[in-house]
Structure 1
């Protein structure tokens, strides 16, 4: 799962919005220097990612990508799922754009973490409020190119993965609608364990 799904799941489970988001930035297992809600959110984030990666439906979805794109299929699905979450958010309240993101940005403005990349993304998010742009498919393509650049352009996948997902949008939308309720249920159970 990518940024929006983690934030949305945090809202549903009433855990730290920023903590669940920060799981992509905080490395290692020593979290004791962080506030307890942030620690809990990071732990949930990691388990949600693990659950998603191991899930049969997601594994089949990755295998559906052309062979040359499978290495980065998980990354692309995570990003595409954020797009699908916004397109289908009326099925999975609370509504992200008008409520959850406002709360997230407020929490984010009050949170400092000792991670350079987190702080760069934080400043960008607070300045431009770009998470809601995932409602547009083109935002996924830009995110794919960003990942491609972060990988030093050693793996070129952005354009072809985007074209593949566009061509198969209906089947991946059905997959998301089938999978996401299971992820919500898992996240709710998980949040009770980490409190």
Structure 2
């Protein structure tokens, strides 16, 4: 999943938003000096991504992409899921989306290097840029999502206009994928709640 979904699921499970975002940046075994809250959030992020990648709806969405884009399907579909989460926000969250984003942006921008329990280098630069520039608001629009994918594509080892992978989708295809998301996301929310409870028990020893 992508940033918006991980922030939403952090609120849904009452776990660390920062930890849930750091799962994209912290690889391998977790350092012992991380706070329990960050450790739990990172671990939850990893289980959420594993569940998503193996869910039948996500796998079907990836498989439905045309061959030039299927290789990058998990990236494309994760971004589209953030788009549809934005569009259907009131189904899944009580707070209005603008207030939700403003609250999380403020919290992220308070993270400083060497803060107790935080990473020594501070907030990863992409997360700082996201909070400073308000990236997530653009995901509510199809073209905004495509432009965000173009940005990701420019950072690939071989730069690629990833946004074309969603611009090329027909309206009926988009509709089928959207219905798949609406079937998938309640499953993910239920899974995340259960995993958060399990991980909290593990972290408590």
Give TM-score scaled by structure 2 length: 0.86
Q: Please, which moves more after superposition, 184-193 or 86-95?
A: 86-95
Runs of 5+ in structure 1 lacking a partner? none
The alpha carbon displacement at 1:166 in A equals 5.3
Query: Which whole-Å CA distance do the structure 2 matches of 1:10 and 1:165 have between them?
Result: 33
Higher radius of gyration, 1 or 2: 2
The alpha carbon displacement at 1:66 in A equals 0.9
Within the alignment, does 1:170 sit opposite 2:150 as a pair? Answer: no
The alpha carbon displacement at 1:96 in A equals 5.5
The one of 123, 128, 147 equivalent to 2:128 is 123
1:147 corresponds to: 152
Query: Which whole-Å CA distance do the structure 1 matches of 2:25 and 2:96 have between them?
Result: 22
After superposition, residues 17-28 of structure 1 pair within 5 angstroms as 17-28=17-28
SS in 1 for 2:167: helix
Query: Which whole-Å CA distance do the structure 2 matches of 1:39 and 1:100 have between them?
Result: 23
Query: Which whole-Å CA distance do the structure 2 matches of 1:165 and 1:181 have between them?
Result: 25
Q: What is the aligned residue count?
A: 194
Change over 3 Å in CA distance of 1:122–1:68 after alignment to 2: closer
Q: Please, which moves more after superposition, 47-56 or 102-111?
A: 102-111
Query: Which whole-Å CA distance do the structure 2 matches of 1:143 and 1:129 have between them?
Result: 12
Asked if the contact 1:86/1:96 (under 8 Å) is kept, the reply is: no
2:48 corresponds to: 48
Change over 3 Å in CA distance of 1:127–1:193 after alignment to 2: same
SS in 2 for 1:42: helix
Within the alignment, does 1:67 sit opposite 2:67 as a pair? Answer: yes
Asked if the contact 1:165/1:172 (under 8 Å) is kept, the reply is: no
Per chain length, whose mean CA-contact separation is higher, i.e. which structure has more relative contact order (CA < 8 Å, sep 6+)? 1
Runs of 5+ in structure 2 lacking a partner? 113-118, 201-205
